[in-house]
Structure 1
């Protein structure tokens, strides 16, 4: 999993089966000081995150587990909207 910031949305009228009703978001990985920390990804979202929000993203097989045994072509899934977090000042 990683911490990210939603920086945009993707609209696709034609999607693979199993992706119906899934919102697609552009998420930039960030570190705990909110600096860019990796390559931007497109993540599926079923919980209603929006542009500017910090989110928790799950990648790979764990992201697909959320679909109860159905095969879906998802590599990244928003699994939480971050309200707040706390880390020690010296921690990275």
Structure 2
């Protein structure tokens, strides 16, 4: 089902806007680094430090595992790195 069909939007031949198929991933993506552009002036204040801290923590877990995939540190790192897509976005 197309976006225009779901929201009952009539398109003419002159319309050239994006009309994605809902519930199908598109080739679009959100650039996560854009949240850092105006970080001090937005609700994302401090987000860069949080992202760095998160990956630093995961890196340390992997280091503690010493490459042992059976280690609880390794398993925790893998679990933390399973970052799923926000379903509602459907952008891959």
Superposition TM-score, scaled by structure 1 size: 0.19
Which one has the largest radius of gyration? 2
Give the alignment's TM-score, normalised by structure 2: 0.19
**Higher share in strand:** 1
